[in-house]
Chain A
């Protein structure tokens, strides 16, 4: 059974106002780091991207208030609580998010940083939340998939057939996260 290197939380400039890196450059960096599949999400904007040599999964990230966001892949009926940062966010805010969406998964690692993940969802995933090439690869998943296809990889993730990894925090990612904590919205 092949193993796919996967990230389910990435951005590019066409669909995310806070990225200035086009999908071609992001995809080139992901390919260079050995990724097989990347989920690109726009801030409040469903992506429509495609990149040769990389399985691209289109989705959207919704701001739901300060901190925790909803990363959505509706075509796969799969929803992730992104960077909950429990302990910084009021506990009540995280509970409200869970009450609203009951996500399928929560990011255990985001941009290389550990996130609070208990009580939120059964599955714990990892994503680098990269907005530029310097932030690529800080967190990722190794997915045991039947085939190297979008559907097979997402099916394997939903079944929990993966491991999660973190390889250090990007400084620019850390600064952006700190800003996210105090700013609401997408």
Chain B
């Protein structure tokens, strides 16, 4: 498949503090793409109540904004996938920054292997999350599995439609993480090639860990629960 266009889908909920960091970072990464590839940057927002949408509207980088309440990070990604202009999509998070070669690295297998349906890169955590994600990925890799970070992947939409995200309690961190980062990649492998691109790397905020440990109050993103019994079917991020 020779892509003529790619959608960059960013999931957000109350990210007014992180979006200003992401925008110049994405701008730098998009410059690395060949001129003949059309791009769309789509913000899949969960109905932010801060200035996330206002900032996005002001930015010439962001082409499309879909802001409506959803069921959490997986719901936000699904909304982005379905509303994006192009079938070839790269997914990211607002509280993440992407290193040089990230975008081109994730997309390269789609140009050389028509069977490719999913690629994913590596993630390192900032602050108190330093090292934890590498450990997680290393353990899964040792067992022969995928650690496919939600904020660092490229997918082909027709394959996704055959194996969309499953309906899980989307405010329970462990359940969501297993669905998004492990089970989803395994299901996609039934439809084509899934390739890890370790050089396509990013670093993501340590806000969740800092919040758990009481070092800093979490701002933005999903309000995770860690006990599945506390989850509600009609959760909305808050």
Contacts and interface: CB of A to CB of B under 8 A. Distances in A.
- Co-assembled chains A and B: yes
A70 interface: yes
B163 interface: no
Given A100-B97, A100-B99, A102-B28, A74 B23 contact: yes
Residue picked from B28, B31, B59, most chain A C-beta under 10 Å: B28
Contact of B24 (A42, A45, A79): A79
Given A73-B20, A77-B23, A102-B24, 19 more contacts: A44-B17, A45-B219, A46-B51, A48-B51, A62-B20, A64-B97, A72-B20, A72-B21, A74-B19, A74-B20, A74-B58, A75-B58, A79-B20, A79-B23, A99-B99, A100-B99, A102-B28, A104-B24, A185-B127
B25 A100 contact: yes
B37 to A, nearest CB: 19
B17 A60 contact: yes
B196 interface: no
A72 B97 CA distance: 14
Interface residues of B, number: 24
A59 interface: yes
A157 to B, nearest CB: 16
A100 to B, nearest CB: 6
Interface string B32-52: 000000000000000000010
Given A77-B59, A77-B61, A102 B21 contact: no
Interface of B: 16-17, 19-21, 23-25, 27-28, 31, 51, 54-55, 58-61, 97-100, 127, 219
Interface residues of A, number: 24
B23 A46 contact: no
Given A72-B24, A101-B24, A102-B24, A45 B17 contact: yes
B59 A74 contact: yes
A62 B100 CA distance: 19
Shortest 9 CB-CB contacts between residues of A and residues of B: A72-B20, A102-B28, A74-B20, A75-B58, A79-B24, A101-B24, A62-B21, A46-B16, A99-B100
Contacts of A77: 23, 58-61
Contacts of A74: 19-20, 23, 55, 58-59
A174 B23 CA distance: 31
A67 interface: no
A59 B21 CA distance: 11
A70 B20 CA distance: 9
B133 to A, nearest CB: 18
A173 interface: no
A127 interface: no
Contacts of B16: 46
Contacts of A72: 20-21, 23-24
14 contacts: A46-B16, A46-B20, A48-B51, A60-B20, A72-B23, A74-B19, A74-B55, A75-B55, A99-B28, A100-B97, A100-B98, A101-B25, A102-B28, A102-B31
Nearest to B127: A185
B102 to A, nearest CB: 10
Contacts of A76: 58
Interface string A149-170: 0000000000000000000000
